[in-house]
Each structure stands twice: as C-alpha cells, then as structure tokens.
Amino acid sequence: MARKSISGGLRWFLKLFPRLALVLLLPFASFSRDAAPKILGAGSCSSSGCHGGGGASQNQYLVWSLRDFHSSRPFATLTTARSKQISDALGIKSPAEDLRCTVCHAPLHSVPAERRPGVKVSEGVSCESCHGPGEPWLRGHTRADWSHAHRTLAGMRDLKDLYERANTCVACHQTVELPLLKAGHPELIFELDGQTVSEPRHWREATNFSGGQAWFVGQTVALRELSWQLTREGAGDPKLNARWQAALWLVQKVAPTVSSSTVPVTSEANGENAAAALKTADQIARQAAQMYWTPDLSKKVLEGLASSGPDFRQRELSNELQARRAERLVLALDRLTNDLQRSRSGKESDSELNSLFKLAQSIPDFDREAFAAALEKFMAIVSPR
C-alpha cells in the first residue's frame, strides 16, 4: 500500500511539475528498476579514512552533518507548526509524506526502500542529493588514476561546472508553485554565488573561480525557471508576473556585456514571451558558464547595473515591479562588489550598498525615488568621474 501511494504521488507530481521533477527526481529514478543505481547514504562517506576525518581534505561529512542546514533542517521543517498550517490549507495529511513537500525537504522519500537500503528519509538533502547516486562512482572516485572526467562519466555530478551547479540548486531555491505560496510558503529567490558563499565550505573552488560569473549563471538559470513556471501556471498572478519581469530586466541589462545572445522579448508577462525567454536564458547560462570571466568584466557589469537609476524613475511601471527589480539588483551589486574586492583592497562602497539593501527590504513600502537616489550615490563611488 505504501509503495502504491508513493507511485501515485509521483505520477501526480510528474504530471503537474515535470521540470522540477526532472531536476530533483531523475537522479534517483530509472525506468529500469534493475539498472537504477542505489543510494548508499551519507554514512557511506563518513569513515575517518574518507570524508569523516580531520583536516580540510577529509572533513566533508563532518561539515555537512554538524554545520550544514541541508543535513537535518529540511526534513525537520516538515514537522513544524508552520508546515502544518500550510499543509492544512492545502489538504495535505502529512507534509513528511506528501511529494509536494518531500521533493525538496526529503528527496529520498521518492526513492523505493530497496534502492536505499538502510538509508533514512530523514537524512534530508544529503551527499547524493547533490553529487548523484553513489553506487557507480563511490569505490572509484578516490583512485589516483581517476580524473575529474572519469568521476563524472561514472555518474558523479559535475558541480565544478557552474551551469550544472545552478541546475542542481535552483529547483528548490527558486520555484515554489502558486498553491504553496498562497497557502503561506515563503517566497524564494535564487542567487547562486551568495548562497554558495553562505554554505559551510566542504569543497575547494577552481583556481579561476569568479563570484561574478557564478552570480550571472545563477540569474540566467533563475530566469529560465521563472519562465517555465509562467508557461505552466499562466500569467494570472501579479506577483509571479512581477518576479519574472524583474529577472528578465536584470538579465537583459547584463547579457549584451557578457554574451553573444540576448533575450529579445518584451516584458509583457505572457506564455509566448515566457517560452522565448526560457529558451534564450538557458543558452546564455550555458555560454556564461564556459567563458573566462575576468575582474574587468565584473567591473563593467557592476558599473552597468549601478547606472540603472533612471530605470527606477519610470513612472509608468508599478511599484511592485520596481521593488522586485530592486530586490534582484541589490543582490547583484553585492556579489559583483564582493568579487572585485577579492582582487583589491577597500570597501568604500559598503555604506551605500547597505543603504540600498535597507531600501529594498520591503516590497509594499518600496520608495523608488529614494532607491534611485541611493543608487546614484553608489554609482559615484564604484565609477567616479
């Protein structure tokens, strides 16, 4: 009976939200039960000789289990009073067993028990949620004669690729279906670089890593996902429309500087524009992830965005849309400024940036004129004439 219930829930989820399911569930699923790799669980990484030992090169399991909210918090959230309130509004009997909740908070719930022997659903978002099912690559990935390419060919997800990394994270950090939002689930906004930096570090970045590049790849992938959501759920929700329009505005401001592709659609929220933006945003994300991103490019993008004060004085645009633009913009300015500070000293722009964050905190109380004026002060610091 339990298996039948899970299968029915999975069919329901795939029908309504195929793109979210593609990102989150297919690493754990297979049409051939015999061929599907097993989930070995975080315990398979935890020995002191592997990732449960001391030192920065062997403490990955300890960092995840002791410091990372992905270890237990996602599943524990499903047992809170707020989760019960949301689930009651949606007619969900148990958040810890309903796919609408577990797909992000307990992804192992959708994996049949025989494919995760001894592994508990309460692990939350564990090693294999991000790195892929461990059975094909666990034994070989520490071999000296295995290159990074060998590991990815064996099935280990290539998280050094910023496009792949963004795709791994965005589904649960951006997309929340409208019924969940209306029932009280908080809105989410995806920002790859900032959320990577806030993650307790259990990996080493590539030597040519750029926070500005990670930020932009994340924003184009976020636009793609918002575009997909708009095509699926329609343009009837003003908040979703404004979130999509704000992400579109941001990518359109930056894309000509860093990419050979642009997003040639108007900001009118409709299915046709959303479908076109989805396709182009994905192309730009792929390109941006493969390019060589320099500090000079981060500076050029920063100056271009900092000069957008006049955009916030467009009286014909709604205050909701302008507030959503500001919400995306301040995160962009923060990550690009941080990227540049890695290569030079001085934080003279921090005070003005803090002012911009304060002005963008409340969507209902957003003051577009004050924000435009603060943005001009910030521009004067980052690009003095």
Q: Which pLDDT score is estimated for 318?
A: 95
DSSP of 286-344, one letter per residue?
HHHHHS---HHHHHHHHHHHHT-GGGGG-TTS-HHHHHHHHHHHHHHHHHHHHHHHTSS
Q: Which pLDDT score is estimated for 345?
A: 41
Q: What residues in the chain have per-residue pLDDT under 50?
A: 1-19, 21-23, 25-33, 345-346
Q: What is the pTM of this model?
A: 0.88
Residue 15 CB burial class (10 angstroms; 0-12, 13-18, ≥19): exposed
CA distance 247 to 251: 6
Q: Which pLDDT score is estimated for 208?
A: 86
Sketch the domain layout of the chain as residue ranges. 173-385
> In 3D, which of 214, 272, 269 has the Cα closest to residue 247?
269
Q: Which pLDDT score is estimated for 343?
A: 56
Q: What is the DSSP letter of 98?
A: -
Q: Which pLDDT score is estimated for 16?
A: 47
